[in-house]
Structure 1
């Protein structure tokens, strides 16, 4: 489902959202939409695109390490959100993603959660490279629920059961997971897109990093790849304040009860879905993913 009636915007999970071309987007980003739409991409931009909670920070750190030649100290030069600015980001009293990116020297690394139809045209006109990462819908649901409880600008998700229902219907920021992953999948050959899966990255990070290197046309020795695998492992990143968002104040991101780098697992959904929820979810999933050859693993 991509389009909503205006009255749906009164639902708790959409309280701070605004519809942009039929997709619910955070009010700040929506307010800044004209600048996002008119964003001028460069041919050597590299975009890390995902639906929220699909490994964005992880892959952003991997790509930054690639461009830093595998040097972890260079990657500690600044926080991840300044090294890989979030294109549509806008909250009061902070520079917008567009403003940060405008002054960045090339090659710029750019983060976005936009569905493909909302991407600024200049990315396609300039043949910028996009690494898209998709994660199975169940683990995303759990991670997104915890994220709603941490981010002060996001609406209260309510109890897990209520949130899961809203998420399945696409009544959350960035809309339907199904539409998002399918939209990018269907255009992967039309544009300069490398489509990766979170579960594959968990299973064999070295193999997936090699795919990124090939896509980015960068040669790298095995020992540097090993170094990148080590420094971008979940445990290393969880303890790295340049990546774990600990530099943000609690008024923006409250990590007192749960951390931004929470578990990073494939299959954690089993600890939260009831049998009934799982059956209902599978039925709904089958309907919304019929007609596509896009396949996900819900555990590894």
Structure 2
């Protein structure tokens, strides 16, 4: 197991001030200093020793990179396009329990008792996965090195979805500002500093992407950009079907495209609420280049330098890069 160290006191206090849903603080894990809630100390062993099945499909990516739509597509493709079957929790978010602070959850349930069943389901994601009889599609934001080693040893299909970091940062900011169990109270400039410095949950961003990018060419592994989905959904779906070794007719492709049209998909209820218990659109806009509406000139200058340096270091070229 990796070393798990508490975040330095001053930074931890600052984070607890801005991220009001996390009451217990943060840790940094391993040499990369993966930034996670302190609850990870209790869950690390359960995650690392989780029993993997050879026919599992793992959807991996940094938050707001397209993992949710990729998991939905993958679940449908691997379950005979069962649109009318299970509506909620088709795929499971592996570390759902990690992002739910117990003190915040208790307050939510006390205020909104009818939310208890929904929250308990989210907290029991590992148990639900263990009891799942059908082929499992598992979404995770954890970096590769914190996942069970059998994910790579047992022949699981692994899909890494990657998105341009400027759009990731904006999308992550809006989500973490709106959902009740995170409740970020700062502005985009403040959030950007945390994101760039690797101090948002599941960061550092580029180290996360690098672990996926280095595996390109590995058996049972697919690296794909979110921008490909927005540019040409048919080609994106065909790439998934080829990887998953599934045959899809033109008629089924058309139906699936209509179902996954972003304006339709974003209306799908994913049981995410704000602090007043109002539904939050988990999928906000999903556009490519949406950062342009929100980045200041200063943030953009910082972002350009940061992205250029890290992209060259890794060797990655984003579809959005000039």
TM-score normalised by structure 1 residue count: 0.88
| 2:181 matched residue in structure 1 | 153
| 1:26 matched residue in structure 2 | 37
What SS is found at the alignment partner of 2:70?
A: helix
| 1:84 matched residue in structure 2 | 91
What SS is found at the alignment partner of 1:25?
A: strand
Structure 2 Cα separation of the partners of residues 66 and 278 of structure 1: 38
| 1:10 matched residue in structure 2 | 13
What SS is found at the alignment partner of 2:252?
A: helix
Change (3 A) 1:106 1:126: farther
State the 1:299 CA deviation. 8.1
State the 1:269 CA deviation. 0.2
State the 1:196 CA deviation. 0.6
| 1:297 matched residue in structure 2 | 319
Structure 1 Cα separation of the partners of residues 314 and 239 of structure 2: 23
* 1:129 corresponds to which of 144, 148, 157: 157
Would you say 1:177 and 2:205 are equivalent positions?
A: yes
Give the root-mean-square deviation of aligned CA atoms.
2.4
Structure 1 Cα separation of the partners of residues 257 and 39 of structure 2: 35
Preserved contact between residue 5 and residue 27 of structure 2 (Cα < 8 Å)? no
What SS is found at the alignment partner of 2:312?
A: coil
Structure 1 Cα separation of the partners of residues 302 and 132 of structure 2: 46
| 1:63 matched residue in structure 2 | 74
Structure 2 Cα separation of the partners of residues 144 and 227 of structure 1: 30
What SS is found at the alignment partner of 1:132?
A: strand
Preserved contact between residue 36 and residue 201 of structure 2 (Cα < 8 Å)? yes
What SS is found at the alignment partner of 1:32?
A: helix
Instruction: Detail structure 1 runs of 4+ shifted over 6 Å in the superposition.
Output: none
Change (3 A) 1:38 1:288: same
What SS is found at the alignment partner of 1:289?
A: helix
* 1:282 corresponds to which of 280, 293, 304: 304
Change (3 A) 1:4 1:137: farther
Aligned residues: 288
| 2:253 matched residue in structure 1 | 225
User: Which segments of 5 or more consecutive residues in structure 1 lack a partner in the other structure?
Assistant: none
Structure 2 Cα separation of the partners of residues 277 and 250 of structure 1: 27
| 1:73 matched residue in structure 2 | 84
Change (3 A) 1:157 1:48: farther
| 1:50 matched residue in structure 2 | 61
State the 1:164 CA deviation. 0.6
State the 1:227 CA deviation. 1.0
What SS is found at the alignment partner of 1:194?
A: strand
State the 1:68 CA deviation. 3.0
TM-score normalised by structure 2 residue count: 0.82
Preserved contact between residue 134 and residue 196 of structure 1 (Cα < 8 Å)? yes
State the 1:4 CA deviation. 8.4
Preserved contact between residue 20 and residue 30 of structure 1 (Cα < 8 Å)? no
State the 1:214 CA deviation. 0.8
